[in-house]
Amino acid sequence: MDNAFGQPQNVIVLGATSDIARAITRRLCTARGRRIVLAGRDRTRLDEAAAEARDYGATTVATVVFDALAPDHAGDTVRACLDALGEPVDLVVIAVGELGNQSHDQTDPDRAAEVITVNLTWPAAALSALRAPLIAQGRGRVVVLSSVAALRVRPSAYLYGAAKAGLDQMCLALADTLDGTGVTLQIVRPGFVRSKMTTGLAEPPFTTGVSEVAEVVVRGLESGDRVLYSPPVLRYVFTVMRVLPRRLWRLVADR
């Protein structure tokens, strides 16, 4: 059960093997995270994440394997997670996503579609599957990993950025539809994060590690703020970025 400080005990993490998701899981388990369900694509990496969750204080950890390229099975995945938990869920973290390789993907229709599927279609399907069970329990929280890339889509990662923009906008409106249900949805917009997903890419200003993102999530669960930025200063940086004239934006974004 969620407590006064927004510290959940029963948690489901979708896309649980990413570095950011694992950092969030560690922080949650250090506080009150006890029954945890981790869902991901890779069995071996899921088992690693599960062992880590136990090391950090979880008492019961279950894993569910799923494929984010198959949104038609997202409902089954969500049901499997809820069943594996076996108690009301306090928090669902949706950390499914892939950056893709823009210079290749932009000429490969299948890959282009896949980047959109993983970052937008699957999370949308999963959120639809979560809605009724969460409302039925009269409480529950959802945290969705968006990105500052959603705020102004960069030419060098437009598939990823466009998918995150869709997800971000959808979630903002979805959160409004949950008023009065006891269920809340928050989104996190990290900047550039040092992780497996970004290995080999040049680091822009305001780059952080995954633990900073986890800290923002934990603090955000307590404050209840609907939109969270990591690092928090990006809230102001991107207020400016969104309105930069295009030429100036290109100078910044294409660097």
CB of 126 vs another protein, minimal distance in Å: 20
Name 102's Cβ contacts closer than 8 Å, sequence gap at least 6.
Answer: 156, 157, 158, 159, 160
d(CA 9, CA 234): 30
Q: Give the active site residue among 56, 158, 160, 229.
A: 160
Whose Cβ is closer to another protein: residue 5's or residue 236's? 5
- Positions touching another protein (CB under 8 A) are 1-7, 9, 31-32, 34, 87-88, 136-140, 180-182, 219, 222-224
CB of 220 vs another protein, minimal distance in Å: 12
CB of 224 vs another protein, minimal distance in Å: 7
Asked if 187 and 144 count as a contact pair (C-beta separation under 8 A), the reply is yes
Give the full edge-to-edge strand order of the sheet including 227-230: 60-65, 35-40, 10-14, 91-94, 140-145, 183-190, 227-230
* SS3 call for 131: helix
Whose Cβ is closer to another protein: residue 66's or residue 229's? 229
Whose Cβ is closer to another protein: residue 99's or residue 216's? 216
Cross-strand pairs, 230 = 190
Is 229 annotated as catalytic? no
What are the tokens at 116?
């959109």
In degrees rounded to 5, what are phi and psi of residue 61?
A: -130, 130
Closest CA to 74 of 32, 128, 7: 128
Closest CA to 195 of 107, 102, 99: 99
CB of 181 vs another protein, minimal distance in Å: 6
Whose Cβ is closer to another protein: residue 153's or residue 218's? 218
Whose Cβ is closer to another protein: residue 218's or residue 237's? 218
CB of 138 vs another protein, minimal distance in Å: 3
Name 126's Cβ contacts closer than 8 Å, sequence gap at least 6.
Answer: 14, 74, 75, 77, 78, 94, 96
Which residues are marked as active site?
Answer: 160
